[in-house]
Amino acid sequence: MNRIISSVVSAALTAAMLIHCVPFVKVSAETKETKLIALTFDDGPNTTTTNDVLDILEKYDAKASFFLIGTNINEESAQSVKRAYDMGMEIDNHSKTHSNMSKMSAEEIKVEISYVDDKVTEITGEPTKFFRPPFIDVSESLYDAVDLPFICGIDCQDYMENVTAQERADYIMNGAKDGVIVLLHDAAGNQQTVDALKIVMPQLVEQGYEFVTLTELFERQGETPKDNILYSNVAKYPCADYQQKLEISSETPDRIPLDQTLLSDLGDDYAIELNYTSGTGYPPVIALQRWSSTPSIWHTIQPFYFNGEKAVFLAEDIRSALKQLDIGYSDLDGIAVAAYSGEIILSHAKILTKTENSEDLMGDVNNDRAFNVADVVAFQKWLLAVPNVKLEDWKAADFRKDNKLNVFDLCLMKRALLAKMNIAETNRDGQA
């Protein structure tokens, strides 16, 4: 109860400070929903391609994260790192030598990481925050030795010379989703990736994407990076308003077959949720398979959401893959959840379908189907015009129902949350 009283005092003080400085803000019903995307660049720094990438990011006021190879940092390239940092980019760790680290000893691994940290600290004043393993090769020993969150990202194949700028751009656009991490390379001479960025940046802006660093991505999606997970996206849990239609038990620990006819009939209104355990951080995948005709197909789809215990695959991602392959569900010989890479044990899968006529939740400005302190913090930052803070659902903050957002709505929101907390605490006391 003391925590609640403190919260009330804090709310009153905050309201008193805000009431003189926060104007009434009339919000248009046409406000676009913000989607977050994290562009990341490997294999720098250098004085050519890195700066070309920074020029494009600067043009669009975009933030990104750069994973540096330690041996590429020298007196000249350090200027590119400093420029990136001063622009608000995040500087991250891609090892000293870009060697296969999964077979290294703990001492060798730590040297690879600390070398980059020391170089980056000399330039920026702070160490790196995330790690991308060379060749995306991970192991239990690597997880144990590296005290940083591990990042992968959607593969745009921009490390292959025969992949054109347009093809790279297509990979980015096809994989773009709220919370997605895009894996690119700013290695010296990689002009086709620079050209691909020139193609996709205006398209992503038009589609409502905001370009953020990895740190901001985690913070704004309400996720805390966990150990032993290799992140390719940081999505909000997407199925709060879904209901279970069918549960499928695992016949083997590494594969759960799915009924493609059922999925086809469900259209775009389904999701596949899976419980799993992973020893190396890799999530399971959806595998599309065809072996009875030519060309044969083995195509994998990464989950849109995963947290080390639960993975969610969206219908739209599966349909997008089928469109890319120019086939339909009926052209497949099989579709399954598969433990494709690493030590993964599958438990069971659920077919979920969207709940019809789900009501909006008042106060849920971040649109994650829960009203909690994260919503209050987001709304308060928005009222104070904190840069890059936007509301996913502004109507959920309009407690006065006047199409204006101001400090009075904030006070009512805090009062509603305190009442909810008080009820919850009373219920706990009653059950004790």
Cα angle for residues 328, 329, 333 (degrees, 5° grid)? 115
Q: Residues 49, 189: contact at Cβ < 8 Å?
A: yes
Cα angle for residues 330, 335, 337 (degrees, 5° grid)? 160
Contacts within 8 Å (CB) and 24+ apart, 304-307:
304/177, 304/233, 304/235, 304/238, 305/179, 305/233, 305/235, 305/236, 305/237, 305/238, 306/229, 307/223, 307/226, 307/229
Type of residue numbered 85: Y
Q: What is the DSSP string of 50-104?
A: HHHHHHHHHHTT---EEEE-GGG--TTHHHHHHHHHHTT-EEEE--SS----TTS
Identify whether 185 is a catalytic site residue: yes
Q: CB neighbours of 61 closer than 8 A, spacing ≥ 6?
A: none
Identify whether 94 is a catalytic site residue: no
Q: Residues 283, 234: contact at Cβ < 8 Å?
A: no
**Residue 41 — left, alpha, or beta (φ > 0 → left; ψ -120 to 50 → alpha)?**
beta
**Residue-wise over 258-284: b if at least 16 C-beta within 10 A, else e?**
bebeebeebeeebbbbbebebebbbbb
User: Which one from 42, 117, 317, 375 is the annotated catalytic residue?
Assistant: 42
Q: Count of CB atoms within 10 A of residue 299's CB?
A: 17
Q: Which tokens belong to 2?
A: 């003391």
Look up tokens 């990481």; give the residue: 113
CA distance 213 to 37: 8
User: Please, which residues bridge with residue 274 across strands?
Assistant: 311, 349
Q: Which tokens belong to 54?
A: 């920074």
Q: Residues 217, 233: contact at Cβ < 8 Å?
A: no
Contacts within 8 Å (CB) and 24+ apart, 425-429:
425/1, 425/4
N-terminal to C-terminal alpha carbon distance within the chain? 15
Q: Which tokens belong to 23?
A: 């104007």
User: Which one from 52, 158, 178, 185 is the annotated catalytic residue?
Assistant: 185
Active site residues: 42, 185
